[in-house]
Amino acid sequence: MKTTRCDRTPAWDALQTTFNERGRSFDVRAAFASDPSRFACFSQSAPHVFADLSKNLLDQGTEQLLFDLARQSGLESHREAMFSGAAINTTELRAVMHWLLRKPPVPLVSEAQVATEFVANELTKVHTTLAAMLAFAEQVRGDAGITDVVNIGIGGSDLGPQMALLALDEFVLPGKRFHFVSNVDGHELAAVLRKVKPASTLFLIASKTFTTIETMTNAQSAKAWFEAQGGTDIARHFAALTTNVVAANAFGISSTFGFWDWVGGRYSVWSAIGLPLAIAIGAQGFKEFLGGAHAMDEHFRLAPLAQNLPVRLGLLDLWYRNFHGFTSRSVAPYHSALKRYPAYLQQLEMESNGKRVDAEGAALPYGTAPVIWGEPGTNGQHAYFQMLHQGTDVVPVEFVAVKAPKHDLPGHHNLLLANVLAQAQALMLGKVDNGGHKHFAGNRPSTFLLLDELSPSSLGALIALQEHRVFVSGSLWGINSFDQWGVELGKVLAKNVEARLSSGDATGLDASTAGLLARLRD
């Protein structure tokens, strides 16, 4: 499947002309004044998510050109290739089918939806594994002897389940504690081991490859601690979540839940990697989480471009990165339980689209993934929002708000909602004050995502929305969003340096590393 790189389409040139003519000087306040339908045109519903894009720096004509760009670059056939199980991860020759993990066992419309025998076979495996994993989750939930679940994993084997478990705190089974250990820094594991007892702890060793050095080191230490404390029943207290069952068995773990090489680490929360979440919110809750994501998959697959939320967001990302030249996006969830959502999105976007060459390996003449950063909104307001309002760089902000809270403390939620609305308003409207210290230039763009409530299904939909928007921008940029070669070099060098830390051998090292090594060994 070959797409046409965005800069090689006629629409790219048209967008450049548009940007020069009216994009650079676009004023969203004037756009609202001259177009009474602006809110209606730039807002839409998608499964579980209402989105208001109207405070962004584009008009309907520009969005039409962006849709042309999507068509001309072959976005729709690329999307179809992903949903038919083609090996669109071309550098690793793998299919990209995290969406299959959310697909119900019986095809919703017709068998024809399951395009190939390969996909059909994998779907069967998905549901066999899901059933086993959910049965295990229910068993642990009902096992009063297990009070603590410790997930040992890093990157996608940590961020997804941790983010989701925190987000769905209201749905978590009381009486069980969940811990996440990702860092190879022994302080993290040691702090958890101080709190738990071997007889009442279940360790989940989460690693797609079962080779990641941080996870393997933590897993070895957890096992050694367990045995040193007199623990013997590894089968009851350790389970592995991995595509590499052979390595997990060799490690001494017989309880394993597998997944497949067509699930990227950062797309794996829907697989066995989601087991801590399934234990926390139960089989039904986990199914709802998958169901919300599946609804968003269907929206992405079937909705026309102009009403397709992941497509609209991905195109906006390209417009901002390549025409306006904005280099980052701030994520501002106005729900304290979404505290790890920005970190989760960092891996999703920056590991997927932080690439400098196209699928053929040719250097790209334009920017790709923006820097993603953020904190829960109200906290950010009292920290870095100053820069968002008055700094020299324009940073598009993506707000997330939730209509109905899950608490009944009077006053809080209205104050929270008032804040998120006011921040979006202030960014856009600004305030004239003689151009001095109290002047807000305004015209600062933001997107507003609104959920009715934060639930397993709405969280599933929100995360799938983000996955697909990353697919869209990556596809237009002509990059492979599904590999991550950029993390390899550091891993190789760390092995080399680790040996030198013991031996002190600095032969051939650059002077800076050699100097630091000497100080560390002093």
| Nearer residue to ligand F6P within complex by CB, 119 or 216 | 216
The DSSP 8-state label assigned to residue 22 in this structure reads I
Cβ at position 93, least distance to ligand F6P in Å: 17
Cβ at position 412, least distance to ligand F6P in Å: 36
Angle between helices 275-302 and 117-141 (to 10 degrees): 150
| Residues noted as catalytic | 351, 382, 491
| Nearer residue to ligand F6P within complex by CB, 176 or 266 | 266
Cβ at position 146, least distance to ligand F6P in Å: 23
Cβ at position 272, least distance to ligand F6P in Å: 11
| Nearer residue to ligand F6P within complex by CB, 39 or 485 | 485
| Nearer residue to ligand F6P within complex by CB, 9 or 215 | 215
**3-state SS string over 313-364?**
HHHHHHHHHHHHCCCEEEEEEECHHHCCHHHHHHHHHHHHHCCCECCCCCEC
- For residue 211, the number of C-alpha atoms closer than 13 Å in the C-beta half-sphere is 7
Residues that bind ligand F6P (CB under 6 A): 154-157, 207-209, 212, 215, 265-266, 351, 484, 487
Yes or no: say if 466 and 309 are a contact pair by the CB < 8 Å rule.
no
| Nearer residue to ligand F6P within complex by CB, 242 or 458 | 242
End-to-end CA distance of the chain: 56
**Length of the chain, in residues:** 522
Cβ at position 221, least distance to ligand F6P in Å: 16
| Nearer residue to ligand F6P within complex by CB, 220 or 232 | 220
Cβ at position 206, least distance to ligand F6P in Å: 7
Q: How far apart are CA 140 and CA 237, in angstroms?
A: 11
| Rounded CA Rg of the chain | 24
| Residue labelled with tokens 């100053």 | 386
Q: Which helix (H) or strand (E) holds 490?
A: helix 488-503
The DSSP 8-state label assigned to residue 94 in this structure reads B
57, burial (CB in 10 Å: exposed 0-12, middle 13-18, buried 19+)? buried
| Nearer residue to ligand F6P within complex by CB, 60 or 209 | 209
Could you write out the DSSP letters of every residue in 242-258? ES-HHHHHHHT---EEE
Cβ at position 241, least distance to ligand F6P in Å: 9
Yes or no: say if 23 and 323 are a contact pair by the CB < 8 Å rule.
yes
| Nearer residue to ligand F6P within complex by CB, 42 or 257 | 257
Cβ at position 209, least distance to ligand F6P in Å: 3
Yes or no: say if 480 and 430 are a contact pair by the CB < 8 Å rule.
no
- How far apart, in Å, are the Cα atoms of 365 and each of 51, 114, 272, 324, 391? 31, 38, 39, 15, 27
Beta bridge pairs of residue 448: 52, 399
